[in-house]
Amino acid sequence: MSLFDANANNIGTRAKLYNEPIFQYYNESSRVPIVQVRGILDDWFARYPDEGSTDLRNRFRSQDGRQHNAAFLELYLHELLLRIGFTVEIHPEVDEPTHPDFLVSRNGERRFFLEATISAPSDLEVASDRRINQVYDTLNSLQNPDFFLALRLHGAPDSPPPGAALRRRLENWLSTLNWNAVQEAWAGEGFDGLPTYPWEHSGWSVIFQALPKTGASRGSTDVRPIGLTMPLKVHQITVDEDIKSAVSVKNKYGRLDLPFAVAVNVTGDFCSKYDVMNSLFGHETVIFGPGGTRPGERLHDGAWDGPRGPQNTTISAVMVFKGLTAWNMRSNSPWLVHNPWAARALDPAELPFSQFVPDSTTGRLVIRDGQAPGSFLALRDPWPPDED
């Protein structure tokens, strides 16, 4: 059994469409890097336990990117653990109705449990993104030899925008512009000098700007016309709360007899070490006075340190990946953070990665250097392979 279809529709070497499901593109593309990705993932899938392979394959092939991403993370972690030298049992029995994803052993000795989860957008956010992406795909069929489109965005649409009608309007507008005049304005004033076309639909406002093509792209209609998208309004970023929620919800297996680690893949665009630490230990505060400011205590609003002190103590460590995909898995390294209050501590020596380890004598986290997970996966360098 394969993750992919041997007789899939061949879409050639075109780029992925905005609204195209990840699996569908990987399944049908003939680009050299995608072919290599398919081969690697199928090799991994062949080593995945039979009792869980059908479920994982179904989720991996899902049109819902969240299901696909969750299945990919499980496949990645299973292969990574095997490469490190562990044996892995999926969905082991515990004293609860539900089961952790993996029981990790070495040399016949049970070492720790591992759960995989993702921090992903809500159903409402997914629906809104699909509406926007459908417009992007429609606009990318617009053909103009002289201009790209720069988009300044505000809000999100509550209903499907009329993409085809918008494309026709933009084509008509672009046809009225003089490339020499726009290029001169661009050279002198930058974005402030570009001609604009404002447009609104159902809570979504877009200001289109004509960006002059130069060099080999001018005169060509083979390149995507959308050259740049820019938000006009800063949106609230809640990745720390998303990580906290993803970690806290996994505190559901009762008192396990082994350490328990949770791997989280944050699939959004923004995530930093600062977000990870805030999600686990609470948000930082700042104390200010006549002499300036200094760091204050953390608020007790983290996954591990709550209003009443330590909580979710069954979770021994958290491993947070930022946007892990098959495309970047060679270079993507997680933040691996140990819980100082864990009921069962995970021995840092179990995993050969860089990690943040509590030092009980100083009350601080100490960085312990290690290797990137991708170095164990025997992937080609560069990864993914070049197009040629």
**Distance of alpha carbon 115 from alpha carbon 137, whole angstroms:** 36
Q: Is residue 234 predicted with pLDDT exceeding 80?
A: no
Q: Quick one: pLDDT at residue 119?
A: 85
Please provide the distance, in angstroms rounded to a whole number, between the alpha carbons at the two ends of the chain. Answer: 29
Are the beta carbons of 123 and 65 closer than 8 angstroms?
no
pLDDT tens digits, residue range 48-103? 999 999 999 999 999 999 999 999 999 999 999 999 999 999 999 887 778 899 99
Q: Let me know if 363 is exposed, middle or buried by CB neighbors in 10 A (0-12, 13-18, 19+).
A: exposed
- The pLDDT, as a whole number, for residue 235 is 44
- pLDDT at residue 50, as a whole number: 95
Q: Which tens digits make up the pLDDT trace of 186-220? A: 999 999 999 999 999 999 999 999 999 998 889 88
- What span, in angstroms and rounded, lies between the C-alpha atoms of 337 and 365? 9
Residue 157: how many CA atoms within 13 Å on its side-chain side? 18
Place of tokens 């070495």: 106
8 A C-beta contact, residue 121 and residue 127: no
Amino acid at 18: Y
- As a whole number, the mean pLDDT across the chain is 91
Any idea which residue has 């001609």 for tokens?
Answer: 195
- Cβ-in-10-Å burial (0-12, 13-18, 19+) of 257 comes to exposed
pLDDT tens for 309-332 read 999 999 999 999 999 999 999 999
* Separate counts of helices (H) and strands (E) for the chain: 9, 16
What whole-number distance in Å separates Cα of residue 150 and Cα of residue 227? 6
| CA atoms of 263 and 104, how far apart (whole Å) | 13
Residue 237 has pLDDT above 60, yes or no: no
Residues 313 and 317: their CA atoms lie apart, in Å, by 10
Least confident of 177-186, 187-196, 245-254, 349-358: 245-254
Q: Which of the four pLDDT bands, split at 50, 70 and 90, describes residue 236? A: very low
Residue 230: which residues within 8 A CB-CB, separation 6 or more? Answer: 150, 151, 152, 153
- Determine the Cα–Cα distance for residues 210 and 144; give it in Å rounded to an integer: 11
Is the model's pLDDT at 276 over the cut of 50?
yes
pLDDT band at residue 173 under the 50/70/90 scheme: very high
Q: Which residues of 75-100 are buried (b: 16+ CB within 10 A; e: fewer)?
A: bbbbbbbeebebebbbebebeeeebb
What is residue 18's predicted lDDT score, i.e. its pLDDT?
A: 92
In sequence order, the β-bridge partners of residue 197 are 208
Distance CA 248, CA 115 (A): 12
Question: Rounded to the nearest 10 degrees, what angle do helices 273-281 and 239-248 cross at?
Answer: 50
- Asked whether residue 231 carries a pLDDT value surpassing 80, the answer given is no
Residues 218/146, Cβ–Cβ less than 8 Å: yes
Non-local (6+) Cβ contacts of 131 within 8 A are: 156, 157, 159, 160, 161
| Mean pLDDT score, 22-38 | 95
Q: Are 221 and 145 in contact (CB under 8 A)?
A: yes
Q: Which residues are paired to 147 by β-bridges?
A: 212
Residue 232 predicted with pLDDT over 60? no
Position 387 scores a pLDDT of: 76
**Strands 147-155 and 204-212, sheet pairing:** antiparallel
Q: The tokens of 361 are what?
A: 């004598």
Q: Among the listed ranges 236-240, 260-264, 276-280, 294-298, which one has the minimum average pLDDT value?
A: 236-240
Can you state the angle between helices 50-60 and 65-84, rounded to 10 degrees? Answer: 140
Please say if the pLDDT value at position 42 is more than 70.
yes
